Structure 1
């Protein structure tokens, strides 16, 4: 029986990296994953937080992600009655991939270009990675001039989300985007930022103490 025709281009290489790029190598796909790692998102929310993507391309990429088992689409119950996209377990496995890409690309963030869009939660991935080795767990709420996001560090459920944390955070950080980039790159610790006055930290408990001592 002849092989089934492919609906997308493939590298046709028996290589794990090539197979992965067959699925996520198209332009915008990994950035859509970045947005869905925040949690379920409506199409309009995705389009708003992916400046530069056309509606046709976004719709096409989402369909590809559904077909490849990276994302699903479901209807919210009333009164919302809206459709949202969310990652499958397979899609969420891309979290460390995006963190590694962010670490590799962080040196390119030396200066913000006038044309650069920015969203606060885009800083969550590198920050989550930089806080992973603290030996403490909990929820950190971060406030930047551009907005707020939160990260859950330690334990088995590391994650991040846009906006305030749904529960009372263990730690609150207030800093600017450039300082957040420095912490994410590992060139500045939260403790050093607190001592230098570039980071405001509030909270008690094991996680707050670990951050102050870093």
Structure 2
């Protein structure tokens, strides 16, 4: 059942936590930062949240105009969830919270790492990279990675064209971005598959 608990505190911080302070709420927001997602996408990204729990969080967030539901046009005709304008305003807050949280120890293995988490890290950590467009396939979803004017953008879906394509899993991509693994090693073990301009892709990953 959705919760109606409140801190009963007039402070803006407490009022914000009345809206997004329930378990999984901010992680739902995180997953929607890069674009709309189906319920099944959210379930896969947040395996620790039961279907009922996720349904409750989405309903609560929608009731506060943080999240909205939309039906995609045919032939897809899928129902997706996306951030409303109020929810989009949470982006710098969520990113700052993530940066603050990096000082604390990793959870015990096995720890979940969603594609969105790693792609947000890629977007925020890469600046001085050469212009280019790349196709990333993570967890059976395709993303367009574009580097322009010293900034990296990430959007769901197929690129019109791409210098290179990378198919891997979020954990391997995270290791490549953090420098704990090399692209050569990931290719050798089959943890990554690359097509196109490998040198250009390596510059993006190793920047």
* Selected match of 1:169 from 162, 165, 168: 162
Paired with 1:87 and 1:112, the residues of 2 have a C-alpha distance of 31
The 1:99–1:44 alpha-carbon spacing in structure 2 relative to 1, beyond 3 Å, is: same
Q: 1:178–1:57: structure 2 CA closer, same or farther, 3 Å change rule?
A: closer
Candidates 119, 123, 130, aligned match of 2:125: 130
Q: Return the alpha-carbon distance in structure 2 between the equivalents of residues 30 and 85 of structure 1.
A: 14
Would you say how many aligned residue pairs link Structure 1 and Structure 2?
195
Structure 1: segments with no counterpart, 5+ residues: 1-6
Task: Look up the match of 2:133.
Answer: 139
In the alignment, structure 1 residue 12 sits paired with structure 2 residue 9: yes
Aligned partners of 2:45 and 2:114 also within 8 Å: yes
After superposition, the CA RMSD in angstroms is 3.9
Superposition TM-score, scaled by structure 2 size: 0.67
Cα distance in 1 between the residues matched to 2:44 and 2:102: 23
TM-score (normalizing by structure 1): 0.66
What are the within-5 Å matches in structure 2 for residues 79-90 of structure 1?
79-90=75-86
In structure 2, the gaps of 5 or more residues are 188-193
How many Å separate the matches in 1 of 2:90 and 2:84?
Answer: 10
Q: Deviations over 1:121-179 (max 9, x none)?
A: 43111111101x226555343456x6665334456893343xx6343234545777566
Structure 1 residue 9: Cα displacement:
0.9
How far the C-alpha of 1:32 sits from its partner, in A, is 1.0
